[in-house]
Amino acid sequence: MSILDRFRLDDRVAIVTGASSGLGVAIAKALAEAGADVVLAARRTDRLADTARLVEAAGRRALCVRADVASPDDCRRVAAAAADLGRVGVLVNNAGIAEAVPASRETPEHFRRIVDTNLMGAYWMAQAAGAVMTGGGSIVNISSILGLVNTGLPQAGYSSSKAGLLGLTRDLAAQWSGRKGIRVNALAPGYFASEMTARQEDGYIDGIVRRIPLPRTGEPEELAAAVVFLASDAAGYVTGATLTVDGGLTIS
């Protein structure tokens, strides 16, 4: 097997949550280009059709499933649909929500909603996918550099959920890597063009970019390439790790 062959995902089914927009679209497209059939899960099914067309344009099968990852039943339904499609080998926990709210005004309902999606949803989806990954596999959790550092916005709920996701990654890797052959890793993206960054106040992203050693925001394909690496046999000896994809922001 050549080095480039190790990045291939042929004969595997990949699940991508939050696949209706932004980084989820780029991730699904990249996995398809690497050879995987892709199950696309999101709450907004009307937008999944566009992602499905990108997967199919790469010559792979796409299956759209409406799901709210905060629901364990929905997660099990997504995993079952993926198992019907073929050998489930990859899960990318990408679904997430973010809102900046000062801690003095954040309600219990708001905090729980963010944690239920970003952290609990990833856990329920990992449980469901792990049950159908009978031949081993790879789980990639999309965390954030806000799970590691602070960048000035009041995001206690979001930051807590993303930090918790890093702990979940380590624990699942310890439990499943040897026993089930499932590697579990996390990515901590910096600032990429997305619906989340588009909602920031004028000038905020410009200020962040001035702190980045590679002075720009990331391209979605750059994060997607890191997902393919962790999902594939190229990362066969990598588990429990967090890879920052942030242009160096966390060291600035």
Helix (H) or strand (E) holding 252: none
How many Å is the Cα radius of gyration of the chain?
17
> Rounded to 10 degrees, what is the CA torsion of 234, 2, 180, 133?
90
Return the DSSP state at 199: T
- CA distances for 105 relative to 99, 111, 156, 157, 204, angstroms: 12, 11, 11, 12, 21
**Crossing angle of the two packed helices 45-57 and 22-33, in degrees rounded to 10:** 30
> Is there a catalytic annotation at residue 123?
no
Rounded Cα gap, residues 16 and 220, in angstroms: 15
Cα angle 158, 218, 14 (rounded to 5 degrees) comes to 70
Cβ neighbours around 102 below 10 Å, total? 10
Residues in the chain: 252
Name the residues annotated as catalytic. 158
